[in-house]
Amino acid sequence: MHANNIHNGSYDFETLIKTHTPLENFVFVNNFSTKTIDFSNNLAVLHLNKALLKHYYQVTDWNIPNGYLCPPIPGRADYLHHIHDLLDTTKVIKGLDIGVGSNCIYPILASQLFDWKMVGADINETAVNSANENIATTKKLQENIEIRHQQLNANLFKGIINTNEYFDFTMCNPPFHSSEKEANTGSLRKVKNLDNQMSSKLNFGGQANELWCNGGEGLFIKRMIKQSCSFKKQVGWFTCLVSKSENLKNIYKQLTKAGATYKTIDMNQGNKKSRFVAWQFVD
């Protein structure tokens, strides 16, 4: 984890339960005499998130519609801390999250961690409505965050970035699977890894649109790179998470073709390795 990430240590469940009592129902002591929750149980993760957002980020009433993606907060915060390292933060920072989701997690954390101004965009109407509901709960979120509805599936920046508008950075956690079947298999594997045994329940968070798109993350990022060329003067850094390292080779090829300068930032969260690619167009 990034050195500044407050989630570097293990969860302090005692304190978190004091902040958000319903979490108590999901905390148990495991075989290593450690307090934990069942991370494959969406309801348990939902209440852990509510507690974390209340305790560390002063967001008192965060929610997501049933079945929508329930994000692990430490990893989401990590991406923002690494973006922070790319920026000149002596001035007011304005960021854009492509695919903000119903959880609106990146704009919320960016607002509460750094007081950044954020725009969150999504194609999914339920996501847009739920993101707006999450913002409505807290005055500071209302001041810092705006949600915009992307009308065209094929577009990422067009229709969202206005003429003469400037963003210091864009970020994105793209839908990574290439089919619904692959998304289901991937989620089952995730539950299996967590439980260390095959689980019969497919209790993952995430609606189809959140988890997959035609061509998977490879094609999504290819589109993003191509479309970023039309906004090169309006964005300081374009960034995007890449969950499959085998996609990097093609991404580098596309970035070179587009004439962008780029770097890859590796992130380690426990035993999970992830990364994002950041690119810009310098004259």
Ligand X SMILES: C[S@@+](CC[C@H](N)C(=O)[O-])C[C@H]1O[C@@H](n2cnc3c(N)ncnc32)[C@H](O)[C@@H]1O
Residue 69 interacting with ligand X (CB under 6 A): yes
Give yes or no for residue 240 binding ligand X (CB under 6 A): no
Task: Indicate the residue whose CB is closest to ligand X.
Answer: 99
Q: Which is nearer to ligand X, 17 or 218 (CB)?
A: 218
Pick the closer one to ligand X by CB: 137 or 243: 243
Q: Is 44 in the site for ligand X (CB under 6 A)?
A: no
Kindly determine how many residues on this chain lie close enough to bind ligand X according to the rule CB under 6 A. 23
What's the closest the beta carbon of residue 174 comes to ligand X, in angstroms? 6
Residue 25 three-state SS? helix
Determine the Cα–Cα distance for residues 25 and 29; give it in Å rounded to an integer: 12
Which residue in 105, 246, 229, 80 sits closest to 156, CA to CA? 229
> Within 184-223, which residues bind ligand X (CB under 6 A)?
209-210, 213
Stretch that binds ligand X, among 47-55, 94-102, 180-188, 247-255 (CB under 6 A): 94-102
Q: In the window 142-161, what residues touch ligand X (CB under 6 A)?
A: 150, 153, 155-156
Distance between CA atoms of residues 64 and 43, nearest Å: 11
For position 103 contacting ligand X by CB under 6 A, the verdict is yes
Minimum CB distance to ligand X smaller for 17 or for 130? 130
Closest CA to 53 of 128, 102, 106: 106
Please identify, using beta-carbon distances, which residue of 27 and 131 lies nearer to ligand X.
131
Asked if 99 interacts with ligand X (CB under 6 A), we say yes
Please report, in angstroms and rounded to a whole number, the separation of the first and last CA atoms in the chain: 33
For ligand X, give the closer residue by CB, 55 or 148: 148
Check binding of 64 to ligand X (CB under 6 A).
no
Residues forming contacts to ligand X in the complex (CB under 6 A) are 69, 71, 98-101, 103, 105-106, 121-124, 127, 150, 153, 155-156, 173, 175, 209-210, 213
